[in-house]
Structure 1
Amino acid sequence: MAKKTSSTKAAGTARQAKIQAAQKASGGGSNKIVVATVVVVVAIVAVVGGVVWSQAKKQASVGTSTAVPAGSSMGKPFRAYADVTPVAGAPTVDLYEDFQCPNCGQFEGILGETIRDLGQSGKIVLNYHVLNFLDKNTGARNSTPAANGAFCAATTGKFQQFHDAVYRNQKTEGEDVDQATLDGWAKVAGITGSALTAWNTCVADGTYDRYIQSVNDAAFKLPGFQGTPTVSINGEMKDLRTVGTVEGFTKAVQDATK
């Protein structure tokens, strides 16, 4: 009897040990599943948080205003001399420029007056695509504030004057544009009185920063677009070696006039 009882107890003990081992194993598995689930959730939260942070950072850099210059829309150019009726068959000239671009300054020095005359006389429909990619390339805060200042000037009817003032007194590539510089361009452009007050508010708010970025992004999606300055006549990009002189540009416009 003693041996039988001892054997029974031993068997019971063995079964209990197996049950405990099974419970322990089962509990460990559950813990692993819980831990793995938590890790996955944390990873998802981290990714989502990173995306949100990235979007917030981009939004902060371009502002939240959805304002666009009169007659334009996001990603589209600004038409100069919109109050001028084009002559019959006048071609559309699209200029892609960045106010920080030294080559744009040189181009403007050579052709600025000719382009203005053609635009004012209605012999061309003149569209400006004002970009800001050089801010990112150089790390300077230059292209965007200059462009925003120009479009703020457009609300006072002084876009062309401000545009020309920027190039006549162009800030060096890679240098920030400060408020004093913007104020100087506004003065040269002839913005005064209540118009200057409105311009200052517009500049301080970065009203057109988002629009400028949209135009920049749209330009770099165009087939064959490489940078500034770029000239397009009736949708055809031109070789600057051909249209980079007064004679060459005038001839290209005449050839495109229907």
Structure 2
Amino acid sequence: MAKKPSTTKATGNARQAKIQAAQKSGGGGANKIVVATVVAVVAIIAVVGGVVWSQAQKQASVGTSTATPAGATMGKGYPAFADVTPAANAPTVDLYEDFQCPVCAQFEGILGPTIEDLAKSGKIKLTYHVLNFLDDKTGAENSTPAGNGAFCAAADGKFQPFHDAVYAAQKAEGEDVDQATLDGWAKTAGITGDALTTWNTCVADGTYTKYISSVNDAAFKISGFQGTPTVMIDGQMTDLATIGTVEGFTKAVQDATK
């Protein structure tokens, strides 16, 4: 007669089967958790890496634009009051300035209103040559950001008020120009709303840095050019001691009017 299976052995086999099943189930769950964690970490690293890469690319692109302000080309000055039709015999006045130059601020304080009035009335054709050599000389980030601010303002027709705001509240020579200072000049110049948003982007991108540097380089290739401020009337270098007063400048313009 066949023997009856042992109940103890059957129970043991069933228990072992359950343990093995539990081990398989538990192990699979653990692996899923590990895999999910790894995927999440990789995703985070990818996002952070993408942000860092994007920021690095953005930083690398600052100041690389070859844009020029309206009416100007690389190495050439910016024609102010382009909407004014000058008289047929109006002389051309080329004014070389650096926004960091303290003597330029003094010059503008004395002659700025007179020069602007003559340009607005069409009695002169005024061209600004905005330089940045003092950034290299002093090690400050001053001339270039101020120049960028002015030409970014020009897109909103606000070059002149921004230019005047810089000299009225000029940052000291050798000191960096921070964003708060630039914002203050923009506010004084009347840049608001969407125009302000556009201006901020333009300034952050350093849109006109290459243009300013090209004008700076061209200026120092002029025979006899030594620095700022320099005034040329119809291509002739003037003596600041002679034209440095309202009377002296007005007479020089009258003498050059043909």
Per the shorter chain, which TM-score range? Answer: 0.7 to 0.9
Amino acid paired to 1:130: V
1:156-235 superposed matches below 5 A: 156-235=156-235
User: In structure 2, the residue corresponding to 1:113 is in which secondary structure?
Assistant: helix
User: In structure 2, the residue corresponding to 1:72 is in which secondary structure?
Assistant: coil
- Inter-partner Cα distance in structure 2 for 1:87 and 1:190: 29
Q: 1:207-258 CA deviation, whole Å, 9 max, x = no partner?
A: 0000000000000000000000000000001000010000000000000001
CA contact (8 A) 1:162 1:188 kept: yes
1:33-52 superposed matches below 5 A: none
Amino acid paired to 2:74: M
Query: Does residue 113 of structure 1 match 2:76?
Result: no
User: If the length of structure 1 is used for normalisation, what is the TM-score?
Assistant: 0.76
**What residue number does 1:19 align with?**
none
User: If the length of structure 2 is used for normalisation, what is the TM-score?
Assistant: 0.76
- Inter-partner Cα distance in structure 2 for 1:61 and 1:213: 16
Q: 1:86-138 CA deviation, whole Å, 9 max, x = no partner?
A: 01200000000000000000000000000000010000000000000000000
The Cα of 1:61 is off from its aligned counterpart by 10
- Inter-partner Cα distance in structure 2 for 1:255 and 1:182: 39
**What residue number does 1:140 align with?**
140
**What residue number does 1:101 align with?**
101
1:143-154 superposed matches below 5 A: 143-154=143-154
Amino acid paired to 1:72: A
- Inter-partner Cα distance in structure 2 for 1:246 and 1:129: 21
CA contact (8 A) 1:62 1:210 kept: no
Q: How many residues align?
A: 199
Larger Rg: 2
Amino acid paired to 2:87: V
**What residue number does 2:23 align with?**
none
CA contact (8 A) 2:77 2:127 kept: yes
Structure 1 gaps of 5+ residues are 1-59
**What residue number does 1:40 align with?**
none
- Inter-partner Cα distance in structure 2 for 1:195 and 1:159: 13
Structure 2 gaps of 5+ residues are 1-59
Amino acid paired to 1:177: V
- Inter-partner Cα distance in structure 1 for 2:121 and 2:197: 31
**What residue number does 1:22 align with?**
none
CA contact (8 A) 2:62 2:205 kept: no
Q: 1:140-188 CA deviation, whole Å, 9 max, x = no partner?
A: 0000000000000000000000000000000000000000000000000
- Inter-partner Cα distance in structure 2 for 1:171 and 1:162: 14
The Cα of 1:63 is off from its aligned counterpart by 2.2
Structure 1 residues 61 and 242, CA gap change in structure 2 (3 angstroms): farther
User: In structure 2, the residue corresponding to 1:129 is in which secondary structure?
Assistant: strand
CA contact (8 A) 1:84 1:120 kept: yes
User: In structure 1, the residue corresponding to 2:110 is in which secondary structure?
Assistant: helix
- Inter-partner Cα distance in structure 2 for 1:183 and 1:225: 33
Amino acid paired to 2:139: G
Structure 1 residues 95 and 62, CA gap change in structure 2 (3 angstroms): farther
